[in-house]
Amino acid sequence: MKPLSTVSGKAIPFGAKNIDTDIIIAAEWLKTITREGLGKGAFQSIRASDPDNVFDDPAYAGSPILIAGDNFGCGSSREHAAWAIGDMGIRVVIAPSYSDIFSGNAVKNGILPVVLPQSAIDRLMEVAREGDPIHVDLEAQTVTTEFQDRFAFEIDSFRKHCLLNGLDEVALTMERDQAIGAYETRRTTDQSWIMRGTAA
């Protein structure tokens, strides 16, 4: 996973609320057996129905930041949504809230889901619409603009650590093999029926 510390650039002023993962990437695109190339399918229904959509607007082409609305990424657990957004070149999403599954998927793919209150989102939407840059600093946990806006955000320290260092969570957990083994031994002794699974 690509480490992330600071991201600066234009932002896509999207802002819509309750954007589900079917909108981010439609089921038709889920037939792939790889993680690549999903950016061209991202936000397909919006691109098809609205000729003035922000995703095809050349003013925002190549923006590394997406500004979104409340409950972003709700619905399906498809990680393809995070892969698609990453494939568009987006490294940071800024929204008032996310679905639990989406924000987890984003972090695991080196995308930072910043949570800011609606008032901050409204201001950042204005800045983004003007094409002015936004600066995100994960170490400092701030979003700033060139107009003296400064918004601090919270992030759980483990997620921050993984993003800053581009860490593979599976490798980290595999280092805890002994603790997992001890738990399994206890389980097998006390509640062996749980551990039988398909072999019951």
Give the DSSP H or E segment for 13. strand 11-13
Residue among 20, 132, 137, 149 that touches another protein (CB under 8 A) = 20
Beta strands in 60-198 (DSSP E): 65-67, 92-95, 112-115, 134-137, 142-145, 150-152
71 binds another protein (CB under 8 A): yes
133 binds another protein (CB under 8 A): no
61 binds another protein (CB under 8 A): no
CB of 33 or CB of 148, closer to another protein: 33
**Residue in the block written with tokens 């003007």:** 130
Among 149, 92, 156, 98, which residue's Cα sits nearest to residue 120? 149
58 binds another protein (CB under 8 A): no
CA distances in angstroms from 115 to 44, 94, 131, 188, listed in the order given: 25, 6, 21, 41
The footprint of another protein (CB under 8 A) covers 16-18, 20, 22-23, 26-28, 30-35, 44-45, 48, 69-71, 74-79, 82, 97, 99-101, 104-105, 108-109, 156-158, 161, 169-174, 176, 179-180, 183-184, 187, 191-200
